[in-house]
Structure 1
Amino acid sequence: MDFIVKSFDELSTHELYQLLQLRSEVFVVEQDCAYQDVDGKDQIALHLMGIEGDNLFAYTRIFPPGAYMDSACVGRVVVKESKRGKSLGIQLMKVAIDTIHENYNTSEIALSAQTYLKKFYSDLGFTPVGEEYLEDGIPHILMVKTT
């Protein structure tokens, strides 16, 4: 699995199609959650893609401090169902954390975690902050990592 980071303008139409397809496949269809995925924020994000051959299997988008939250943040963390259980999510997040450090020179990273993934993110050094809340009808919690 190769991990590639690109800005929105660097994405090919094929890559953009694949990442939108994967996000829709998991967040809309699998999680049965109708929401506006194409939210106008992709243009200001870095896009981290886990690619094998010509196929996208893992993805997240990364924002600089102040672009989405006060601190740098990670969102739309997703692994294709057929590739889950192989530590790909952990690899993806480690690359995302390194990418933030390399690009934004910051020690704080935030994310809005689906509550059922709290242990996954805690194992990566993220700490829950505040109370659980609903985002698009799914329980979430703000989590922050300081390095």
Structure 2
Amino acid sequence: MRIRLEQLSPLQFHAIIIARQTVFITEQHFCCPDSDAHDTHCWHLSALYGDKIAAYLRVIDPGEKYPEPSIGRLLTTQAYRRTGLGKRIMQVAIANIAELYPGQAIRISAQAYLQPFYANLGFATIGKEYLEEGIPHLEMLRLPNT
């Protein structure tokens, strides 16, 4: 279900933040706050198992971070990795973006080691590798109807 921040219940938002902190700060050692100003300019998509987050991502509105809509903060919690859930939530997000923003490309900042995963979803690398929080990243773009 896609939902804006202001529509999330406090418990839903808390579950999202716990999942994001666990993956990005605890597991991947990001040294900056995970929550940012973009959270208020996006819709959030979660896959739940009971009341726990199994997978999550956010779609940032066009013009907020990039001219195009942008997918970010994709995660699959440890218990659900290698099940195809990450790919499935990305497919749902791409379909929602096509519905909400027809004819627009999608831009992402992807961890470099995940380039093949995103390439299989139609994203192409643009630009050179760069470091974000000490982790190699690539900017990638998915053209409409790809």
TM over 0.5: yes
Tell me the equivalent position of 1:90.
Answer: 87
Moved more, 32-41 or 114-123: 32-41
5+ residue gaps, structure 2: none
- Give the TM-score normalised by the residue count of structure 1: 0.95
| Aligned match of 1:128 | 125
The equivalent residue for 1:117 is 114
- Kept in 2, the 8 Å contact 1:62–1:75? The answer is yes
In structure 1, distance between residues paired with 2:103 and 2:43? 15
The CA distance in 1 between the partners of 2:101 and 2:44, in whole Å, is: 14
TM-score between the two structures when normalised by the length of structure 2: 0.95
SS at match of 2:16: helix
**1:70 CA displacement:** 1.2
Q: How does 1:1-147 map to 2 (within 5 A)?
A: 4-147=1-144
| Structure 1 segments (4+ residues) deviating >6 Å | none
RMSD over equivalenced CA pairs, Å: 0.9
Secondary structure at 1:85's aligned position in 2? coil
1:106 to partner: Cα distance: 3.3
Q: Which runs of 5+ in 1 are unaligned?
A: none
- Give the superposition deviation at 1:64: 2.1
- Distance apart, 1:103 and its partner CA: 1.4
